[in-house]
Chains A and B, each alone.
Chain A
């Protein structure tokens, strides 16, 4: 009888072996002779700090309303010795942009910003919001930045966060050409009467009366400590600004404009730290010698119509410049060029009027076999990160986006490795176990899903990711990007901004898919903490496998719960009762971050198995 049972059992095993799928949906025995691999918990901590529509912002004394949504840029202003803050664990102020045009009696019409003070719990490194009472009497956790003195603001997207002293400027990307669009049927900026600029440091601008919409799209400095706007930089030109950075001299400011064409702009202050007086330039790569062409900022008309001036000056055209940052160690400037699928119609007119295409676009067009960047067939699906070297005056591609499977990444590394439409860009300086490290933080904001910008299992959703890149890597490419995190479904991940101590990165999840569970259906600011932990960043990237190793070798990576393999494999994951719960094909790693802790069985296509213990 026993023999018969055994016979039937071995027939059953045969049936499994001939089944067409190497991963049966249920395995009979789960007591596999498998090596146990322990996946320890992530060394990173995640915390939600600030939720749109849920957290209340202080708009007046004893007056609070729910915060606006559409979080974008985050600035961090470190606490200094002069600041009087009672909490000894306070570290500095975070300022969060709201990229929208919305009427609000209390917050103010248009976009806006929210500022709050952060402290760090010394025992566990967690961040927390410190209640404050501001000089104007407002009291609470989150403060609406008051823009009423500068004529309000709109669509606050990127900005500038000075490396020197944490000064903050907010950018108003969404370029408007008439009052109707900012009024938006009464839902937007309701006061569209002409605006008269008064009492600013800019003599050329004072007492100029302009249509209301023209008072938008300037860089605006704010004071996060007082939650008040300081000034609009009428001397930097009116452009669809997205980002900028202050150089180490505290005199030079580099700025990018999110448009096609987008221009690269520079302002050099006469005196370090005083950005009200100085000279404004636009970049022209073929100017011969100095690539910076001055645009007279004493002429308010020229500042108002900066784009036209740039075209007349024959400036270099980019395809949506977004954030700009600086590696303060080398002084090199980095900026994201997000890309636009088929830019031809957007910049061929400007090209005819004298502006010039950036050399890398001409090269790309040649590579694609089309007549130039103004050709209707010229495409720019993925965008890239650019590098500007002040020493040579050249702008070059730093990391090209894509998947271009012929060159990068390898098909098997996709979609874990890819870079589509980079937008947010920042630097992280952190001391890890005595070593000073520099990392670039790159955020995606997908323009679309086609041509592999997003895995096909998400046909209508947009998965935007954040990558980090070790600045010590020479000639980096997509293969060197380390995937750090992904925001909830549909969201743009943006704002990534490191705290000055290098322990945390503050990140915004913007306009997520509204069908995510609360609070992930709202824009929110969260923190990832632990970058200073020894080995934490190293655990994000794929380990080096011993090439001589035979069989199925796996390496558990704690951070984002990524498990790496020594070879490209098809694998299936079973729970402890033998039910198949996931199958991954043609992969070198799997992301098991959604799984509960416990024991799992991992089997590859050759039938080799491992027991996975997720802690």
Chain B
């Protein structure tokens, strides 16, 4: 009894002191006492330093062109610039993604200017362009001078705009996690440094920066009795630095780094965020982002938010909708003559492709392009090889209306489906609030929902990074390291979808000009213009001629023949093509090839390692077609249609 009273007294007094302390501290002193104050101060200081570095580098390019500065010294200045940049990169990218892409570190490719009434091209600028020039600075001195000057001007604008902004804890944690995504997908893969391949050197700066920032949380973490979270992240970063500081771009082990460094840090940041109880994005924004903040790591099954990519709400009837979609997917009733279904060209055992160079029309004639896999297809901002449909739901109408495919129209399909009690009931169940649920958009939604279910994220590679299996084979591991390193595959087939969905936001799908030949015999390209002809008036740019969507490589072992025209039968043929620098590397005249025309110099063994890795991207799950189709239509010939599997 006595001890209880003492305990009470003690607790109450602690309570009182703390309440008193919190009442009397002014907001500004609270602000600096907490981590977020120094975080903002550090960022402001380093942003200023980066702005200064851009001026220094600009001067260095002038001196270099006057031949008063050696190339070696210029490289030193460039190194300083990159270091200053990598300290502020994550917060600038987070705070103003568009300005970051347009002026600081966007891909070195021209783009159509968005949202203007006339058609104009924006030329790339920023550090990636500079990096390409720095690979051989004497080659294009004028461009280097211009780019260095622009970088300095643009950085000043960004500094002026970001200076008055204050970031919150939530924003800091989100930006830090984005930094880790960027490091894994765009840093160590060489995407960021297409000319100098400084990706691994940069990684040390990125890790050191994170380490310094997280130190500010020391007090807050001990206040909540979780100091180990800080030591964990710092130890991991230390281990990471040991890997990045001694490795070169070629010999860096990316598998180990992602497994033991990148992934634990990514997870650890979330744990710190949770331990401190700061709000998360879902408490601030109504709109889900593509990257699910709650996911543990890049290879988690829930890393990307499926619902970001579609217009279908995440409701109670989602499973009913998917069941309906599955039935429709295999049902030839959708086509005019009741003979062709989605599964005609998308067979589940072939990862929803058809094994043909190009798919066959409803008359059995070869169509123009190769059937694309539907697994993981939801994670994209454009569909078809030419990116003509902008969301998965809009993809289906192109098949319905195509005279060589379903050769039908929605009205006819709606009328047919309405004849079947089974279908009427299934639609009603999926759309309980709609009086006439069989509509064009509900058919699209059902099919989309089924396709959304085709992402199992359980390939050997996934399982390895998820910790489900112990190891990859030596050849798979070497393959991954080449894929994300020397062979530069991961600079277009981005981790973890291994498609053209660009990190760290995963909201835009890229297309590339590779110079794919018409036949294996000659390097001449086919007459398919791809993206430039996709019907979007905003994409009629010369650099989109012969440009095709970068598809996922998941299940690549099941999806041959390869490329938009199915010209290559084997992965070896594909690898040889890339190894020689694509169409341009083989001597074809390709004005806007986005694939570097230089040979990759991969050995046969290296190629076989990459192929071994790609084979490990096959799902282990099986997808089974439905057992039967509804046969309660009034028309006899519909009831006698075949279930194509």
- Mark A residues whose CB is within 8 Å of B: 3-4, 6-8, 10-11, 13-14, 17-21, 23-25, 101, 173-175, 181, 184-185, 187-188, 240, 242, 258-260, 320, 340, 345-346, 376-377, 379, 405-406, 411, 445-452, 456-461, 489, 514-518, 521, 572, 580-586, 594, 605-607
Contacts A17-B19, A20-B224 given; indicate if A10 touches B4 (C-beta within 8 A).
no
Chain B residues closer than 8 Å to A514, beta-carbon distance: 311, 390-391, 393-394
Q: How far apart are B314's CB and chain A's nearest CB, in angstroms? A: 10
Q: How far apart are A314's CB and chain B's nearest CB, in angstroms? A: 22
Chain A residues closer than 8 Å to B35, beta-carbon distance: 20
When the two chains form their complex, are residues A3 and B117 in contact, meaning their CB atoms are under 8 A apart? no
Q: How far apart are A425's CB and chain B's nearest CB, in angstroms? A: 16
Closest partner residue, chain A, to B388 (CB atom): A187
When the two chains form their complex, are residues A450 and B117 in contact, meaning their CB atoms are under 8 A apart? no
Chain B residues closer than 8 Å to A20, beta-carbon distance: 34-35, 220, 223-224, 276-278
From the candidates A4, A185, A451, name the one contacting B96 in the complex (CB within 8 A). Answer: A451
Q: How far apart are B18's CB and chain A's nearest CB, in angstroms? A: 4
Closest partner residue, chain A, to B33 (CB atom): A20
From the candidates B153, B223, B533, name the one contacting A19 in the complex (CB within 8 A). Answer: B223
- Mark B residues whose CB is within 8 Å of A: 1, 4-5, 7-8, 10-12, 14-15, 18-19, 22-23, 27, 34-35, 94-99, 102, 114-118, 120, 150, 153, 157, 161, 164-166, 168-171, 220, 223-224, 276-279, 281, 283-287, 289-290, 308-313, 390-391, 393-394, 441, 505, 507-508, 533, 535, 537, 540
When the two chains form their complex, are residues B287 and A583 in contact, meaning their CB atoms are under 8 A apart? no
From the candidates B7, B27, B94, B164, name the one contacting A605 in the complex (CB within 8 A). Answer: B27
Apart from A20-B34, A518-B311, A605-B27, list 6 A-B contacts with CB within 8 A. A10-B8, A10-B15, A346-B120, A457-B287, A514-B393, A514-B394
When the two chains form their complex, are residues B19 and A515 in contact, meaning their CB atoms are under 8 A apart? no
Give the interface centre of B19, B22, B116, B289 by most chain A CB atoms within 10 Å: B116
When the two chains form their complex, are residues B11 and A457 in contact, meaning their CB atoms are under 8 A apart? no
Contacts A379-B157, A460-B97, A581-B283 given; indicate if A14 touches B18 (C-beta within 8 A).
yes
Q: How far is the CA of A499 from the CA of B124 in the complex (A)?
A: 46
Q: How far is the CA of A377 from the CA of B153 in the complex (A)?
A: 7
**Closest 5 interchain pairs by CB?**
A583-B279, A450-B98, A450-B99, A20-B220, A7-B8
When the two chains form their complex, are residues B114 and A583 in contact, meaning their CB atoms are under 8 A apart? no
Give the interface centre of A20, A21, A101, A258 by most chain B CB atoms within 10 Å: A20
When the two chains form their complex, are residues A405 and B164 in contact, meaning their CB atoms are under 8 A apart? yes
Q: How far apart are A31's CB and chain B's nearest CB, in angstroms? A: 19
Q: How far is the CA of A366 from the CA of B19 in the complex (A)?
A: 54
Q: How far apart are B632's CB and chain A's nearest CB, in angstroms? A: 28
Q: How far apart are A382's CB and chain B's nearest CB, in angstroms? A: 11
Chain A residues closer than 8 Å to B7, beta-carbon distance: 4, 7
When the two chains form their complex, are residues A583 and B283 in contact, meaning their CB atoms are under 8 A apart? yes
From the candidates A23, A174, A515, A518, name the one contacting B279 in the complex (CB within 8 A). Answer: A23
Chain A residues closer than 8 Å to B394, beta-carbon distance: 514
User: 14 A-B residue contacts at CB 8 Å?
Assistant: A3-B4, A17-B18, A19-B223, A19-B224, A20-B220, A23-B279, A174-B117, A175-B118, A320-B117, A450-B96, A451-B99, A515-B309, A580-B279, A580-B283
When the two chains form their complex, are residues A449 and B533 in contact, meaning their CB atoms are under 8 A apart? no
When the two chains form their complex, are residues B279 and A411 in contact, meaning their CB atoms are under 8 A apart? no
When the two chains form their complex, are residues B14 and A14 in contact, meaning their CB atoms are under 8 A apart? yes
From the candidates B22, B27, B507, name the one contacting A460 in the complex (CB within 8 A). Answer: B507
Chain B residues closer than 8 Å to A460, beta-carbon distance: 97, 290, 505, 507-508
When the two chains form their complex, are residues B311 and A516 in contact, meaning their CB atoms are under 8 A apart? yes
From the candidates A187, A320, A447, A515, name the one contacting B311 in the complex (CB within 8 A). Answer: A515
Closest partner residue, chain B, to A522 (CB atom): B441
Q: How far is the CA of A580 from the CA of B170 in the complex (A)?
A: 15
Q: How far apart are A186's CB and chain B's nearest CB, in angstroms? A: 9
Q: How far is the CA of A25 from the CA of B161 in the complex (A)?
A: 33
When the two chains form their complex, are residues A6 and B286 in contact, meaning their CB atoms are under 8 A apart? no
When the two chains form their complex, are residues A449 and B97 in contact, meaning their CB atoms are under 8 A apart? yes
Q: How far is the CA of A377 from the CA of B22 in the complex (A)?
A: 48
Chain B residues closer than 8 Å to A516, beta-carbon distance: 311
Chain A residues closer than 8 Å to B10, beta-carbon distance: 7
Chain B residues closer than 8 Å to A450, beta-carbon distance: 96-99, 102
When the two chains form their complex, are residues B116 and A25 in contact, meaning their CB atoms are under 8 A apart? no
Closest partner residue, chain B, to A18 (CB atom): B223
From the candidates A24, A242, A446, A607, name the one contacting B115 in the complex (CB within 8 A). Answer: A446
Q: How far apart are B469's CB and chain A's nearest CB, in angstroms? A: 35
Chain A residues closer than 8 Å to B157, beta-carbon distance: 379, 451
Interface of A is mostly: loop
Closest partner residue, chain B, to A20 (CB atom): B220
Contacts A25-B277, A460-B507, A584-B284 given; indicate if A18 touches B535 (C-beta within 8 A).
no
Contacts A174-B117, A181-B537, A449-B97 given; indicate if A517 touches B313 (C-beta within 8 A).
yes
Q: How far is the CA of A19 from the CA of B96 in the complex (A)?
A: 31
Chain B residues closer than 8 Å to A411, beta-carbon distance: 164-166
Chain A residues closer than 8 Å to B118, beta-carbon distance: 175, 240, 259-260, 346
Closest partner residue, chain B, to A449 (CB atom): B98
From the candidates B11, B309, B393, name the one contacting A7 in the complex (CB within 8 A). Answer: B11
Contacts A184-B537, A411-B164, A515-B308 given; indicate if A23 touches B115 (C-beta within 8 A).
no
Closest partner residue, chain B, to A101 (CB atom): B537
Q: How far is the CA of A518 from the CA of B445 in the complex (A)?
A: 10
Closest partner residue, chain A, to B178 (CB atom): A459
Q: How far is the CA of A514 from the CA of B383 in the complex (A)?
A: 13
Q: How far apart are A22's CB and chain B's nearest CB, in angstroms? A: 8
Q: How far apart are A590's CB and chain B's nearest CB, in angstroms? A: 11
Q: How far apart are B529's CB and chain A's nearest CB, in angstroms? A: 10
Contacts A20-B276, A320-B116, A517-B313 given; indicate if A457 touches B97 (C-beta within 8 A).
no
Chain A residues closer than 8 Å to B98, beta-carbon distance: 448-450, 459
Q: How far is the CA of A583 from the CA of B12 in the complex (A)?
A: 29
Give the interface centre of A411, A457, A461 by most chain B CB atoms within 10 Å: A457
Chain B residues closer than 8 Å to A346, beta-carbon distance: 118, 120
Q: How far is the CA of A585 from the CA of B165 in the complex (A)?
A: 12
Q: How far is the CA of A3 from the CA of B289 in the complex (A)?
A: 48
Q: How far apart are B156's CB and chain A's nearest CB, in angstroms? A: 9
When the two chains form their complex, are residues B279 and A572 in contact, meaning their CB atoms are under 8 A apart? yes
Q: How far is the CA of A489 from the CA of B22 in the complex (A)?
A: 40
When the two chains form their complex, are residues A185 and B14 in contact, meaning their CB atoms are under 8 A apart? no
Q: How far apart are A411's CB and chain B's nearest CB, in angstroms? A: 6
Q: How far is the CA of A606 from the CA of B19 in the complex (A)?
A: 10
Q: How far apart are B273's CB and chain A's nearest CB, in angstroms? A: 10
Q: How far is the CA of A585 from the CA of B166 in the complex (A)?
A: 10
Chain A residues closer than 8 Å to B391, beta-carbon distance: 514-515
Q: How far is the CA of A230 from the CA of B289 in the complex (A)?
A: 47
Q: How far is the CA of A457 from the CA of B535 in the complex (A)?
A: 32
Chain B residues closer than 8 Å to A240, beta-carbon distance: 117-118
When the two chains form their complex, are residues A187 and B11 in contact, meaning their CB atoms are under 8 A apart? no
Chain A residues closer than 8 Å to B537, beta-carbon distance: 101, 181, 184, 188
When the two chains form their complex, are residues A447 and B116 in contact, meaning their CB atoms are under 8 A apart? yes
When the two chains form their complex, are residues B277 and A11 in contact, meaning their CB atoms are under 8 A apart? no
Q: How far apart are A565's CB and chain B's nearest CB, in angstroms? A: 14
Q: How far is the CA of A11 from the CA of B18 in the complex (A)?
A: 11
Q: How far apart are A256's CB and chain B's nearest CB, in angstroms? A: 12
When the two chains form their complex, are residues A459 and B284 in contact, meaning their CB atoms are under 8 A apart? no
From the candidates A24, A406, A452, A518, name the one contacting B277 in the complex (CB within 8 A). Answer: A24
Q: How far is the CA of A605 from the CA of B36 in the complex (A)?
A: 15
Q: How far apart are B175's CB and chain A's nearest CB, in angstroms? A: 10
Q: How far apart are B284's CB and chain A's nearest CB, in angstroms? A: 6
Q: How far is the CA of A21 from the CA of B393 in the complex (A)?
A: 42
When the two chains form their complex, are residues A457 and B284 in contact, meaning their CB atoms are under 8 A apart? yes
Contacts A7-B11, A18-B223, A20-B224 given; indicate if A457 touches B285 (C-beta within 8 A).
yes
Chain A residues closer than 8 Å to B540, beta-carbon distance: 181
Chain B residues closer than 8 Å to A461, beta-carbon distance: 287
Q: How far is the CA of A174 from the CA of B118 in the complex (A)?
A: 7
Chain B residues closer than 8 Å to A605, beta-carbon distance: 27
Closest partner residue, chain B, to A462 (CB atom): B115
Chain B residues closer than 8 Å to A572, beta-carbon distance: 279
When the two chains form their complex, are residues B97 and A459 in contact, meaning their CB atoms are under 8 A apart? yes
